[in-house]
Amino acid sequence: MLCNLIYNRAEAEPNKNYIGFYRQACASRGVDFLLLYKEDLDAGIIPMPERGFVINRTRDLALTKQMEQMGLPVFNNSLITYLGNDKLAALRYIEEAGLPILKTSENLEDFDCFPVVMKSIDGHGGIEVFLLQRPEDAMLRQTEAIAIRKAAISSNTPIRWIYQEPADTPGKDLRVYVTGSRITACMLRSSATDFRSNFCLGGKASVYTLSPEEEQTVQTIISHLSKTENGLPEYRKAIGHCGIDFLFHQGHLVFNELEDVVGSRMLYTYTDIDVVDEYIGYILSVL
Protein backbone atom coordinates (compact mmCIF):
# COMPACT_ATOMS: atom_id res chain seq x y z
CA MET A 1 0.00 0.00 0.00
CA LEU A 2 1.20 3.51 -0.82
CA CYS A 3 0.21 6.81 0.76
CA ASN A 4 0.48 9.75 -1.65
CA LEU A 5 0.44 12.94 0.44
CA ILE A 6 -0.03 16.04 -1.74
CA TYR A 7 0.89 19.56 -0.60
CA ASN A 8 1.41 22.94 -2.15
CA ARG A 9 5.15 23.54 -1.96
CA ALA A 10 4.78 26.82 -0.04
CA GLU A 11 2.73 25.09 2.68
CA ALA A 12 4.95 22.05 3.04
CA GLU A 13 7.82 23.76 4.86
CA PRO A 14 5.76 25.26 7.72
CA ASN A 15 4.01 21.88 8.03
CA LYS A 16 7.13 19.70 7.93
CA ASN A 17 6.54 18.35 11.45
CA TYR A 18 2.96 17.46 10.57
CA ILE A 19 4.14 15.77 7.38
CA GLY A 20 6.57 13.85 9.56
CA PHE A 21 3.62 12.52 11.56
CA TYR A 22 2.20 11.05 8.35
CA ARG A 23 5.55 9.55 7.42
CA GLN A 24 5.85 7.98 10.88
CA ALA A 25 2.27 6.69 10.96
CA CYS A 26 2.70 5.05 7.56
CA ALA A 27 6.03 3.48 8.55
CA SER A 28 4.57 2.01 11.73
CA ARG A 29 1.80 0.36 9.69
CA GLY A 30 3.98 -0.91 6.85
CA VAL A 31 2.66 1.64 4.35
CA ASP A 32 4.97 3.23 1.78
CA PHE A 33 4.96 7.03 1.86
CA LEU A 34 5.43 9.56 -0.91
CA LEU A 35 5.26 13.36 -0.57
CA LEU A 36 4.13 15.03 -3.80
CA TYR A 37 3.95 18.72 -4.66
CA LYS A 38 0.96 20.03 -6.55
CA GLU A 39 3.15 22.37 -8.60
CA ASP A 40 5.12 19.38 -9.92
CA LEU A 41 1.91 17.56 -10.83
CA ASP A 42 0.52 20.64 -12.59
CA ALA A 43 3.73 21.11 -14.58
CA GLY A 44 3.96 17.45 -15.55
CA ILE A 45 7.32 17.11 -13.82
CA ILE A 46 5.99 14.05 -12.03
CA PRO A 47 3.08 11.82 -13.09
CA MET A 48 -0.25 11.66 -11.32
CA PRO A 49 -0.46 8.91 -8.68
CA GLU A 50 -1.53 5.59 -10.15
CA ARG A 51 -1.68 3.34 -7.10
CA GLY A 52 -2.35 3.44 -3.39
CA PHE A 53 -4.43 6.19 -1.83
CA VAL A 54 -4.18 9.98 -1.83
CA ILE A 55 -4.41 12.49 1.00
CA ASN A 56 -4.91 15.84 -0.71
CA ARG A 57 -3.85 18.73 1.54
CA THR A 58 -4.02 21.36 -1.22
CA ARG A 59 -7.71 22.34 -1.04
CA ASP A 60 -7.80 21.89 -4.84
CA LEU A 61 -11.24 20.58 -5.74
CA ALA A 62 -10.38 20.03 -9.41
CA LEU A 63 -7.42 17.87 -8.41
CA THR A 64 -9.55 15.79 -6.07
CA LYS A 65 -12.20 15.24 -8.75
CA GLN A 66 -9.57 14.31 -11.33
CA MET A 67 -8.08 11.66 -9.07
CA GLU A 68 -11.52 10.34 -8.12
CA GLN A 69 -12.32 9.95 -11.81
CA MET A 70 -9.08 7.97 -12.17
CA GLY A 71 -10.45 5.57 -9.55
CA LEU A 72 -8.05 6.56 -6.79
CA PRO A 73 -9.22 6.64 -3.17
CA VAL A 74 -8.89 10.34 -2.26
CA PHE A 75 -9.19 11.81 1.22
CA ASN A 76 -11.08 13.99 1.73
CA ASN A 77 -13.65 13.21 -0.93
CA SER A 78 -14.84 15.91 -3.34
CA LEU A 79 -17.93 16.85 -1.31
CA ILE A 80 -15.88 17.66 1.79
CA THR A 81 -13.25 19.45 -0.30
CA TYR A 82 -15.95 21.56 -1.95
CA LEU A 83 -17.83 22.50 1.21
CA GLY A 84 -14.64 22.95 3.20
CA ASN A 85 -13.43 25.66 0.84
CA ASP A 86 -16.68 27.52 0.14
CA LYS A 87 -18.19 28.90 3.33
CA LEU A 88 -21.42 30.00 1.67
CA ALA A 89 -21.98 26.60 0.04
CA ALA A 90 -21.38 24.87 3.37
CA LEU A 91 -23.81 27.14 5.20
CA ARG A 92 -26.51 26.63 2.58
CA TYR A 93 -25.90 22.87 2.61
CA ILE A 94 -26.44 22.76 6.37
CA GLU A 95 -29.43 25.10 6.14
CA GLU A 96 -31.04 22.86 3.52
CA ALA A 97 -30.55 19.94 5.90
CA GLY A 98 -32.91 21.75 8.29
CA LEU A 99 -30.34 23.00 10.79
CA PRO A 100 -30.15 26.63 11.93
CA ILE A 101 -27.42 29.00 10.78
CA LEU A 102 -26.77 32.65 11.50
CA LYS A 103 -28.21 35.09 8.96
CA THR A 104 -25.81 35.10 6.03
CA SER A 105 -25.81 36.97 2.72
CA GLU A 106 -23.49 38.01 -0.08
CA ASN A 107 -25.02 41.49 0.12
CA LEU A 108 -24.18 43.84 2.97
CA GLU A 109 -27.34 45.80 2.15
CA ASP A 110 -29.36 42.92 3.63
CA PHE A 111 -28.26 44.00 7.13
CA ASP A 112 -29.84 46.93 8.95
CA CYS A 113 -28.02 46.52 12.26
CA PHE A 114 -24.30 46.55 12.96
CA PRO A 115 -21.79 45.15 13.78
CA VAL A 116 -21.70 42.60 10.95
CA VAL A 117 -19.06 39.92 10.34
CA MET A 118 -17.43 39.97 6.91
CA LYS A 119 -15.42 36.98 5.73
CA SER A 120 -13.99 35.69 2.48
CA ILE A 121 -15.71 32.61 1.12
CA ASP A 122 -12.47 30.65 0.72
CA GLY A 123 -10.33 32.06 3.55
CA HIS A 124 -8.80 30.00 6.35
CA GLY A 125 -7.41 30.55 9.82
CA GLY A 126 -9.49 33.64 10.56
CA ILE A 127 -7.17 35.84 8.49
CA GLU A 128 -9.82 37.29 6.16
CA VAL A 129 -12.51 37.75 8.80
CA PHE A 130 -13.49 41.24 9.95
CA LEU A 131 -16.03 42.81 12.29
CA LEU A 132 -17.64 45.76 10.54
CA GLN A 133 -18.92 48.50 12.82
CA ARG A 134 -20.45 50.47 9.94
CA PRO A 135 -21.14 49.84 6.22
CA GLU A 136 -18.25 51.99 4.97
CA ASP A 137 -15.74 49.76 6.80
CA ALA A 138 -16.35 47.00 4.23
CA MET A 139 -14.46 48.62 1.35
CA LEU A 140 -11.45 49.42 3.53
CA ARG A 141 -11.21 45.85 4.82
CA GLN A 142 -11.66 44.38 1.36
CA THR A 143 -8.83 46.51 0.01
CA GLU A 144 -6.56 45.42 2.88
CA ALA A 145 -7.35 41.75 2.32
CA ILE A 146 -6.74 41.92 -1.42
CA ALA A 147 -3.33 43.53 -0.87
CA ILE A 148 -2.33 40.92 1.71
CA ARG A 149 -3.44 38.00 -0.47
CA LYS A 150 -1.68 39.41 -3.50
CA ALA A 151 1.55 39.80 -1.53
CA ALA A 152 1.27 36.29 -0.10
CA ILE A 153 0.32 34.28 -3.18
CA SER A 154 0.60 36.78 -6.07
CA SER A 155 -3.07 36.36 -6.88
CA ASN A 156 -5.26 38.95 -8.61
CA THR A 157 -8.34 36.73 -8.41
CA PRO A 158 -11.28 38.68 -6.96
CA ILE A 159 -12.25 37.70 -3.44
CA ARG A 160 -15.86 36.73 -2.85
CA TRP A 161 -17.25 37.92 0.47
CA ILE A 162 -20.14 36.93 2.70
CA TYR A 163 -21.70 38.89 5.53
CA GLN A 164 -23.09 37.36 8.68
CA GLU A 165 -24.79 38.40 11.86
CA PRO A 166 -22.42 37.93 14.80
CA ALA A 167 -23.06 35.24 17.40
CA ASP A 168 -24.10 36.55 20.80
CA THR A 169 -21.02 34.94 22.39
CA PRO A 170 -18.02 36.54 20.63
CA GLY A 171 -14.49 35.25 20.99
CA LYS A 172 -15.59 31.68 21.57
CA ASP A 173 -16.16 28.74 19.24
CA LEU A 174 -15.91 24.98 19.11
CA ARG A 175 -13.98 22.77 16.72
CA VAL A 176 -15.13 19.19 16.42
CA TYR A 177 -12.58 16.88 14.82
CA VAL A 178 -14.11 14.10 12.74
CA THR A 179 -12.23 11.08 11.39
CA GLY A 180 -14.05 8.45 9.38
CA SER A 181 -17.40 10.11 10.21
CA ARG A 182 -16.62 9.59 13.90
CA ILE A 183 -16.07 12.34 16.48
CA THR A 184 -12.40 12.21 17.44
CA ALA A 185 -12.19 15.19 19.81
CA CYS A 186 -13.71 18.57 20.58
CA MET A 187 -11.67 21.67 21.35
CA LEU A 188 -13.08 24.90 22.77
CA ARG A 189 -11.28 27.96 21.43
CA SER A 190 -11.56 31.34 23.14
CA SER A 191 -10.05 34.80 23.06
CA ALA A 192 -10.44 37.62 25.55
CA THR A 193 -9.18 40.24 23.09
CA ASP A 194 -10.62 39.31 19.68
CA PHE A 195 -14.04 38.26 18.38
CA ARG A 196 -12.10 35.57 16.49
CA SER A 197 -10.91 32.68 18.61
CA ASN A 198 -8.60 30.87 16.17
CA PHE A 199 -5.75 29.05 17.90
CA CYS A 200 -3.31 30.23 15.21
CA LEU A 201 -4.24 33.84 16.05
CA GLY A 202 -3.38 33.44 19.71
CA GLY A 203 -6.66 32.08 21.05
CA LYS A 204 -6.65 29.69 23.98
CA ALA A 205 -7.81 26.09 23.64
CA SER A 206 -9.14 23.40 25.96
CA VAL A 207 -10.74 19.99 25.63
CA TYR A 208 -14.53 20.21 25.52
CA THR A 209 -17.20 17.62 26.32
CA LEU A 210 -20.37 17.79 24.28
CA SER A 211 -23.74 17.78 25.99
CA PRO A 212 -26.27 15.22 24.69
CA GLU A 213 -28.03 17.99 22.74
CA GLU A 214 -24.75 19.21 21.25
CA GLU A 215 -23.68 15.71 20.31
CA GLN A 216 -26.97 15.19 18.51
CA THR A 217 -26.39 18.41 16.53
CA VAL A 218 -22.91 17.26 15.52
CA GLN A 219 -24.07 13.76 14.60
CA THR A 220 -26.86 15.18 12.45
CA ILE A 221 -24.34 17.24 10.48
CA ILE A 222 -21.99 14.26 10.14
CA SER A 223 -24.88 12.20 8.82
CA HIS A 224 -25.74 14.81 6.19
CA LEU A 225 -22.09 15.09 5.14
CA SER A 226 -21.78 11.33 4.72
CA LYS A 227 -22.92 10.13 1.31
CA THR A 228 -25.37 7.26 0.98
CA GLU A 229 -25.50 6.62 -2.79
CA ASN A 230 -25.60 2.99 -3.77
CA GLY A 231 -22.53 1.74 -5.58
CA LEU A 232 -20.07 4.18 -4.02
CA PRO A 233 -17.11 2.60 -2.24
CA GLU A 234 -17.04 3.19 1.51
CA TYR A 235 -14.17 5.67 1.30
CA ARG A 236 -16.30 7.91 -0.97
CA LYS A 237 -19.20 7.93 1.47
CA ALA A 238 -17.64 8.86 4.78
CA ILE A 239 -15.81 11.97 5.93
CA GLY A 240 -12.09 11.27 5.90
CA HIS A 241 -10.70 13.82 8.33
CA CYS A 242 -12.05 17.33 8.83
CA GLY A 243 -13.04 19.93 11.37
CA ILE A 244 -16.59 21.13 11.92
CA ASP A 245 -16.62 24.57 13.54
CA PHE A 246 -19.49 25.89 15.62
CA LEU A 247 -20.37 29.21 17.21
CA PHE A 248 -22.25 29.61 20.47
CA HIS A 249 -25.52 31.51 19.97
CA GLN A 250 -28.52 31.76 22.27
CA GLY A 251 -27.18 28.90 24.37
CA HIS A 252 -26.82 26.45 21.47
CA LEU A 253 -24.22 25.33 18.94
CA VAL A 254 -24.71 26.90 15.51
CA PHE A 255 -22.78 25.62 12.49
CA ASN A 256 -20.14 28.06 11.29
CA GLU A 257 -17.92 26.35 8.72
CA LEU A 258 -16.23 23.14 7.62
CA GLU A 259 -12.43 22.76 7.51
CA ASP A 260 -11.28 20.36 4.82
CA VAL A 261 -7.53 20.75 5.43
CA VAL A 262 -7.93 20.94 9.16
CA GLY A 263 -5.01 21.78 11.44
CA SER A 264 -4.36 19.53 14.44
CA ARG A 265 -1.90 21.56 16.52
CA MET A 266 -4.46 21.90 19.31
CA LEU A 267 -4.81 18.14 19.59
CA TYR A 268 -1.07 17.50 19.76
CA THR A 269 -0.65 20.35 22.26
CA TYR A 270 -3.46 19.56 24.69
CA THR A 271 -4.29 15.87 24.24
CA ASP A 272 -2.58 12.49 23.82
CA ILE A 273 -4.52 11.81 20.61
CA ASP A 274 -2.35 10.96 17.61
CA VAL A 275 -4.97 11.99 15.10
CA VAL A 276 -2.73 11.35 12.07
CA ASP A 277 -2.15 7.74 13.15
CA GLU A 278 -5.91 7.35 13.68
CA TYR A 279 -6.52 8.82 10.23
CA ILE A 280 -4.13 6.42 8.51
CA GLY A 281 -5.65 3.55 10.50
CA TYR A 282 -9.13 4.54 9.35
CA ILE A 283 -8.05 4.75 5.71
CA LEU A 284 -6.52 1.29 5.84
CA SER A 285 -9.66 -0.09 7.47
CA VAL A 286 -11.87 1.01 4.55
CA LEU A 287 -9.41 -0.02 1.87
Tally of domains in the chain: 3
Same domain, 90 and 232: yes
- From residue 254, alpha-carbon distances to 63, 78, 170, 257 in Å are 31, 24, 13, 10
Same domain, 206 and 251: yes
- Specify the pLDDT at position 246: 97
Same domain, 179 and 141: no
Same domain, 229 and 276: yes
- Encode pLDDT of 233-281 as tens digits: 888 888 999 999 999 999 999 999 999 999 899 999 999 999 999 999 9
In Å, how far from its chain's centre is CA 248? 19
Q: Point out the domain boundary residue: 164, 182, 202.
A: 164
Nearest by Cα to 4 from 32, 24, 34, 41: 34
Q: Point out the domain boundary residue: 149, 164, 179.
A: 164
Q: Decide if pLDDT at 106 tops 80.
A: yes
CATH of residue 91's domain is 3.30.470.20
Same domain, 109 and 243: no
Same domain, 175 and 282: yes
Handedness of CA 251, 252, 256, 257 (dihedral sign): positive
Q: Point out the domain boundary residue: 113, 141, 164.
A: 164
Whether pTM exceeds 0.85: yes
Same domain, 57 and 158: no
- Encode pLDDT of 169-227 as tens digits: 988 999 999 999 999 999 999 877 566 555 555 678 899 999 999 999 999 999 999 87
Same domain, 153 and 252: no
Residues 6+ apart with CB under 8 A from 69: none
Same domain, 192 and 64: no
Same domain, 122 and 195: no
- Encode pLDDT of 52-93 as tens digits: 999 999 999 999 999 999 999 999 999 999 999 999 999 999
Same domain, 89 and 204: yes
Host domain of residue 89:
83-99+167-286
Same domain, 93 and 222: yes
